[in-house]
């Protein structure tokens, strides 16, 4: 791929996990979207959702590897399927691209290797090994790696160095809180300046509310790197780490995360278009969604290309 790919408006896809659940996936434990890879009867559903986003106008689809991280597989006692889950998710994305006959790109989802929405405070070697083991599997199948919802500068740095070893560009997906800080309490500007890497092709606010995406856009714009967002539609403005909301009264979360986090009903495809248009006017070129963002939302936003 060309490293200046995101210098003009490009459309990323929307959510995979919530779309799978809405179309009939029955999740096992907290595997959620990975359940659709483990059970072959859902493989066509994964491909169909990728195709829905491509047909909606997405320039990039993201592999269904977010829940392919080791920690989640170990939690659900299926760690022996680590290679299969990550590899098969990539194969299904490629299948969708081939069926579409469109020149889209495939991004390899490389998520935070511990919990989501919270800083990974483990020792560097452990984080590096987990990033490398997952990235090594998906890297041969994808055009670039998407660092999917990371919460600290150190994680950004470790994953970026892994991507460099594998000769892959990386799109940074950084989680931001209402106070415009990462969960590690670092500013976006400080981590960018401290850890800047030549293989970065863009920086987006990842799995944040549209409001947070807009609030942090001015700071990101000043970094002089293509920027944008993958916004969610959780009802909770600051999502809770899985280890927290999976306890006690929210045991039913194994069925659907929106039991605990809720789902916004105030952001139609038209609203999402208007929000995205506002961000494009502020300089954003990378537009997409995640949890509860559907092909309908992406189709509306694709008009901005």
What is the C-alpha separation between 252 and 92, in angstroms, rounded?
29
Mean of all residue pLDDT scores within the chain:
94
Q: Show the tokens assigned to 212.
A: 């947070």
pLDDT surpassing 90 at residue 29:
no
pLDDT tens digits for range 43-99 = 999 999 999 999 999 999 999 999 999 999 998 999 999 999 999 999 999 999 999
Helix (H, G, I), strand (E, B) or coil at 104: coil
Question: pLDDT at position 131, please?
Answer: 98
pLDDT at 226: 98
pLDDT of res. 157: 98
> Could you tell me which residue, 26 or 203, shows the higher pLDDT?
203
pLDDT digits (tens, 9 = 90+) for 219-261: 999 999 999 999 999 998 888 776 655 543 444 445 678 887 8
What is the extent of the structural domain holding 87? Answer: 5-304
Question: How many structural domains is the chain composed of?
Answer: 1
- Is it the case that residue 19 has pLDDT exceeding 90? yes
How far apart are alpha carbons 211 and 216 in whole angstroms? 9
Q: 21: Cβ–Cβ under 8 A, 6 or more apart, which residues? A: 27, 32, 256
* Mean pLDDT confidence for 139-150: 98
pLDDT of residue 260: 79
Q: What is the pLDDT of residue 300?
A: 98
pLDDT at residue 161 tops 90? yes
Share of the chain above pLDDT 70, in %: 95
φ/ψ of 98, rounded to 5, equals -65, -40
Locate the DSSP E strands across 14-143. 60-62, 105-111
C-alpha torsion sign, points 13, 18, 19, 25: positive
Residue 240: per-residue pLDDT: 73
Give the CA-trace dihedral at 221, 188, 111, 243, to 10 degrees: -130
Given this model, what pLDDT does residue 211 score? 97
- The answer for residues whose C-beta is within 8 angstroms of residue 104's C-beta and 6 or more apart is 54, 58, 59, 60, 61, 97
Q: What is the CATH number of the domain that holds 264?
A: 3.20.20.330
Q: Give the per-residue pLDDT at 244.
A: 58
DSSP 241: P
Query: Over the stretch 182-211, which tens digit does the pLDDT of each residue have?
Result: 999 999 999 999 999 999 999 999 999 999
Which is it for the CA torsion 97, 270, 209, 37, positive or negative? negative
């Amino acid at each position: 791929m060309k490293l200046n790919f995101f210098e003009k408006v490009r459309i990323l896809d929307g959510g995979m996990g919530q779309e799978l659940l809405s179309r009939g996936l029955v999740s096992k434990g907290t595997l959620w979207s990975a359940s659709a890879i483990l059970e072959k009867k859902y493989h066509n559903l994964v491909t169909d959702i990728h195709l829905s986003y491509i047909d909606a106008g997405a320039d990039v689809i993201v592999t269904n590897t977010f829940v392919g991280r080791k920690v989640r597989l170990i939690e659900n006692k299926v760690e022996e399927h680590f290679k299969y889950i990550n590899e098969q998710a990539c194969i299904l994305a490629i299948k969708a691209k081939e069926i579409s006959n469109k020149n889209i790109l495939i991004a390899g989802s490389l998520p935070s290797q511990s919990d989501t929405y919270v800083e990974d405070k483990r020792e560097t070697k452990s984080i590096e090994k987990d990033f490398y083991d997952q990235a090594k599997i998906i890297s041969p199948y994808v055009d670039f790696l998407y660092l999917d919802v990371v919460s600290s500068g150190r994680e950004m740095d470790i994953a970026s160095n892994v991507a460099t070893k594998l000769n892959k560009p990386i799109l940074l997906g950084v989680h931001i809180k209402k106070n415009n800080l990462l969960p590690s309490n670092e500013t976006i500007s400080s981590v960018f300046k401290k850890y800047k890497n030549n293989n970065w092709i863009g920086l987006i606010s990842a799995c944040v509310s549209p409001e947070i995406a807009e609030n942090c856009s001015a700071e990101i714009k000043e970094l002089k790197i293509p920027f944008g967002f993958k916004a969610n539609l959780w009802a909770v403005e600051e999502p809770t780490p899985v280890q927290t909301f999976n306890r006690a009264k929210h045991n039913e979360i194994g069925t659907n995360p929106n039991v605990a986090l809720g789902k916004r009903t105030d952001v139609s495809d038209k609203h999402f278009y208007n929000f995205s248009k506002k961000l494009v006017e502020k300089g954003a070129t990378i537009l997409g969604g995640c949890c509860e963002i559907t092909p309908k939302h992406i189709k509306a936003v694709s008009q901005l290309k």
